[in-house]
């Protein structure tokens, strides 16, 4: 059956499950309406829970877990493991990430940091050449570029502590997909062709992603990942520790040693997950919770919202030149602070309370002119009181019990370092490039870092990943996050503002065009969709505009009046939101 037909049947099935009353609501925009007729963008709707991810197959797996009585954590772990099969460029076993878990029983929101760690043999200047310049090939596309993976440990930690199902049960669906194969989509076929040069640099990688004769996989063919299936079977049989102390660990360590990498058996055996306190702020009556360092996202979401609350964002209107200008200036100030103060809190004293303090935000607004851009060269990191690749991926889960998960994880660049460990099917990350290899020199996303994010053994590199929740009455209202490298933070910020300030439905909030500024380089990036008149006014303010490709891929779920509203960003193909039955 053609994929388009299957998709049409799925959509028809979803809506056939909804009561007729949904389609007979008063067309006025009232708070009790289930469908908003004032919007042209509409979400998937369900009552038993929901999963939103960048691959429909993985969302279906998570939704099936919910339908069987599993909770949001069970579904999230199953979704995360399956994405290693269905979205190999970002879903992973060989990377790391962050998870927020909201627990209905206690009302707590937990932050789980399973970011990669630098091997013990890593050193401060390991990516500098003889002249003291950063060797980008070594930092991004070599065996040296991989940190110790945290994904398996992080997902297992969440499942053991907050889930209800067995590890074996949540791994099984991914084994089936890897063993039986997935249909090659236009997206996957095109992506593999574009990345061919990098993915054929290592024989084990070429063996996985191209046919025996070296030719490309074509649309509609079946892509089987036998080595990955065998690795998943070992993990299912022996448990997640197998990745860090068993045969899989030996395969990783032996290949690293043979090819000049740094990760050893001791590094793998000593990997640790960190549970941290969430970063939070209150914004116009809502409680925003997000990820603390080693993610920079939560700190700067809070910081930027604290600044924006001093301006009439709603009255200015979405897409107005005044609003875009104000948001741009706020972004510049936050990213300047990121360059100075953000790093691994286990190795550096990050002033989280100072950066997220409302009085500090108010002080920063004194630097903003409402109709004149401040050149980035004139913006320096502030003085708070002492208190990631476009191909990251995010998924959101909410269950009928009131639990919620927001998870973002990655290999860093698309397909990470491009290294597949022979016999495992596992792509390795290139997260070592997320450290500041040399203070003041941009990383692969153009982000500037300093000593706070310098390379150090067992340290976690700074990330832009920003899993986030909006709470109302201490219950999850919206769960969201996005891939997008350095643009993740601004993508999440604008989605939150669209929902709270502009009263957009979840679909419209995600579909609306976006902007981005990260202090350096000094340019305002804008997606297509804004008025030419708006661009002219922004230029008159002194903003340097660069029209951009699309930003992010938000996967979000809203819970309102007993219904779950889920949306997968249309900016990237293949994503899907599926309700539990």
pLDDT single digits (tens) 128-169: 999 999 999 999 999 999 999 999 999 999 999 999 999 999
pLDDT band (50, 70, 90) for residue 2: very low
| 464 labeled part of a ligand binding site | yes
Lookup result for tokens 């448990």: 239
| 412 labeled part of a ligand binding site | yes
Confidence at residue 444, expressed as pLDDT on a 0 to 100 scale:
74
Alpha carbons 396 and 72: distance in angstroms, whole number? 9
| 322 labeled part of a ligand binding site | no
In the numeric block, which tokens belong to residue 316?
A: 């200015």
Confidence at residue 36, expressed as pLDDT on a 0 to 100 scale:
87
**Which of 386 and 242 is assigned the larger pLDDT?**
242
Please answer whether residues 103 and 471 qualify as being in contact, where contact means their C-beta atoms are separated by less than 8 angstroms: no
Please answer whether residues 505 and 43 qualify as being in contact, where contact means their C-beta atoms are separated by less than 8 angstroms: yes
Confidence at residue 64, expressed as pLDDT on a 0 to 100 scale:
98
Q: List the catalytic residues.
A: 392
Q: Is the pLDDT of residue 200 over 80?
A: yes
> What proportion of the chain, given as a percentage, has pLDDT over 90?
88
Q: Over the stretch 354-377, which tens digit does the pLDDT of each residue have?
A: 999 999 999 999 999 999 999 999
**Alpha-carbon dihedral of residues 473, 476, 477, 480, nearest 10 degrees?**
150
Alpha carbons 288 and 301: distance in angstroms, whole number? 9
Alpha carbons 333 and 493: distance in angstroms, whole number? 14
| 493 labeled part of a ligand binding site | no
Q: Is the pLDDT of residue 14 over 80?
A: no
Asked whether the whole model's pTM tops 0.95, one would answer no
Peptide bond into 521 cis (omega under 30): yes
Q: Is the pLDDT of residue 17 over 70?
A: no
* Run of H or E including 207: helix 203-209
**In the chain, what are the domains?**
44-181+224-279+389-580 (3.60.20.40)
Confidence at residue 120, expressed as pLDDT on a 0 to 100 scale:
98
Please answer whether residues 470 and 287 qualify as being in contact, where contact means their C-beta atoms are separated by less than 8 angstroms: yes
| 411 labeled part of a ligand binding site | yes
Task: Specify which residues 568 forms β-bridges with.
Answer: 555
pLDDT band (50, 70, 90) for residue 450: confident
Question: How many Å separate Cα 557 from the centre of its chain?
Answer: 15
Return the beta strands (E) in 224-301 as ranges: 274-276, 279-283, 286-290
Confidence at residue 101, expressed as pLDDT on a 0 to 100 scale:
99
Confidence at residue 6, expressed as pLDDT on a 0 to 100 scale:
44
Q: Over the stretch 478-534, which tens digit does the pLDDT of each residue have?
A: 999 999 999 999 999 999 999 999 999 999 999 999 999 999 999 999 999 999 999
In the numeric block, which tokens belong to residue 567?
A: 């949306």
Alpha carbons 290 and 109: distance in angstroms, whole number? 9
In the numeric block, which tokens belong to residue 129?
A: 């050449």
| 191 labeled part of a ligand binding site | no
* Run of H or E including 478: strand 475-480
The helix/strand/coil state of 138 is helix
**Which of 101 and 449 is assigned the larger pLDDT?**
101
Helices 226-238 + 167-180 axis angle, to 10? 170
Please answer whether residues 131 and 248 qualify as being in contact, where contact means their C-beta atoms are separated by less than 8 angstroms: no
| 147 labeled part of a ligand binding site | no
Please answer whether residues 273 and 241 qualify as being in contact, where contact means their C-beta atoms are separated by less than 8 angstroms: no
Who contacts 307 (Cβ-Cβ below 8 Å, separation ≥6)?
330, 333, 334, 361, 362, 364, 365, 368
109 CB neighbour count, 10 Å cutoff: 21
The helix/strand/coil state of 312 is coil
**Mean pLDDT calculated for residue range 176-194:** 97
pLDDT band (50, 70, 90) for residue 567: very high
Q: Over the stretch 298-328, which tens digit does the pLDDT of each residue have?
A: 999 999 999 999 999 999 999 999 999 999 9
Please answer whether residues 65 and 377 qualify as being in contact, where contact means their C-beta atoms are separated by less than 8 angstroms: no
Confidence at residue 74, expressed as pLDDT on a 0 to 100 scale:
99
Question: How many Å separate Cα 206 from the centre of its chain?
Answer: 27
Q: Over the stretch 56-98, which tens digit does the pLDDT of each residue have?
A: 999 999 999 999 999 999 999 999 999 999 999 999 999 999 9
Q: Is the pLDDT of residue 455 over 90?
A: yes
3-state helix, strand, coil in the chain (%, to 5): 40, 15, 45
**Alpha-carbon dihedral of residues 443, 85, 555, 12, nearest 10 degrees?**
150
| 276 labeled part of a ligand binding site | no
Q: Is the pLDDT of residue 234 over 90?
A: yes
Q: Is the pLDDT of residue 390 over 70?
A: no
In the numeric block, which tokens belong to residue 97?
A: 């990430």
């Amino acid at each position: 059956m053609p994929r388009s037909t299957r998709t049409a049947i799925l959509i028809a099935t979803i809506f056939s499950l909804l009561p007729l009353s949904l389609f007979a609501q008063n067309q006025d925009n009232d708070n009790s309406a289930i469908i908003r007729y004032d919007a042209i963008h509409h979400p998937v709707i369900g009552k038993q829970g929901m999963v939103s991810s960048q691959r429909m197959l993985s969302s279906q797996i998570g939704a099936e877990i919910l339908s069987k009585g599993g909770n949001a954590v069970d579904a999230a772990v199953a979704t995360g493991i399956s994405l290693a099969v269905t979205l190999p460029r970002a879903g992973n076993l060989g990377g790391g990430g962050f998870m927020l878990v909201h627990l209905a029983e206690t009302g707590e929101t937990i932050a789980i940091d399973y970011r990669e760690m630098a091997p013990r043999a890593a050193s401060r200047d390991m990516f500098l050449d003889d002249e003291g310049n950063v060797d980008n090939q070594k930092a991004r596309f070599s065996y040296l570029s991989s940190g110790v993976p945290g994904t398996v440990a992080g997902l297992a930690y969440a499942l053991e502590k907050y889930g209800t199902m067995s590890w074996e049960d949540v791994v099984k669906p991914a084994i089936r997909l890897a063993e039986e194969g997935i249909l090659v989509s236009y997206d996957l076929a095109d992506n593999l062709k574009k990345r061919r040069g990098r993915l054929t640099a290592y024989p084990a990688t070429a063996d996985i992603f191209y046919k025996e004769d070296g030719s490309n996989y074509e649309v509609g063919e079946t892509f089987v990942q036998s080595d990955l299936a065998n690795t998943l079977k070992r993990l299912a049989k022996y448990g997640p520790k197998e990745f860090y102390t068993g045969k899989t660990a030996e395969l990783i360590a032996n290949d690293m040693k043979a090819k000049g990498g740094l990760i050893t058996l001791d590094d793998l055996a000593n990997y640790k997950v960190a549970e941290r306190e969430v970063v939070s702020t209150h914004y116009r009556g809502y409680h925003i919770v997000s990820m603390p360092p080693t993610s920079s996202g939560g700190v700067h979401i809070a910081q930027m919202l604290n600044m924006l609350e001093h301006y009439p964002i709603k009255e200015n209107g979405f897409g107005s030149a005044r609003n875009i200008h104000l948001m741009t200036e706020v972004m510049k100030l936050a990213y300047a602070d990121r360059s100075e103060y953000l790093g691994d809190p286990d190795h550096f004293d990050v002033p989280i309370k100072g950066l997220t303090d409302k009085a500090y935000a108010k002080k920063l607004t004194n630097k903003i002119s409402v109709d004149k851009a401040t050149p980035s060269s004139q913006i320096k990191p502030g003085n708070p009181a002492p208190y990631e690749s476009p191909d990251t991926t995010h998924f959101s889960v909410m269950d009928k019990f009131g639990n919620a998960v927001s998870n973002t994880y990655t290999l860093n660049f698309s397909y990470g370092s491009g290294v597949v460990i022979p016999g495992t099917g596992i792509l390795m990350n290139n997260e070592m490039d997320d450290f500041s290899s040399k203070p003041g020199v941009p990383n692969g996303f153009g982000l500037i870092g300093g000593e706070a994010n310098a390379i150090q053994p067992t340290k976690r590199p700074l990330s832009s990943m920003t899993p986030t929740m909006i709470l109302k009455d201490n219950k999850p209202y919206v769960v969201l996050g996005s891939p997008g490298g350095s643009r993740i933070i601004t993508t999440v910020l604008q989605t939150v503002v669209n929902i709270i300030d502009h009263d957009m439905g979840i679909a419209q909030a995600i579909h609306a065009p976006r902007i981005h500024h990260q202090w350096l380089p000094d340019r305002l990036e804008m997606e297509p969709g804004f008025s030419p008149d708006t661009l002219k006014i922004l230029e008159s303010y002194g903003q340097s505009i660069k029209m951009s490709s699309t930003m992010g891929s938000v996967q979000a779920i809203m819970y309102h009046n007993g219904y779950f509203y889920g949306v997968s960003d249309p900016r990237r193909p293949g994503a899907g939101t599926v309700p539990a039955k």
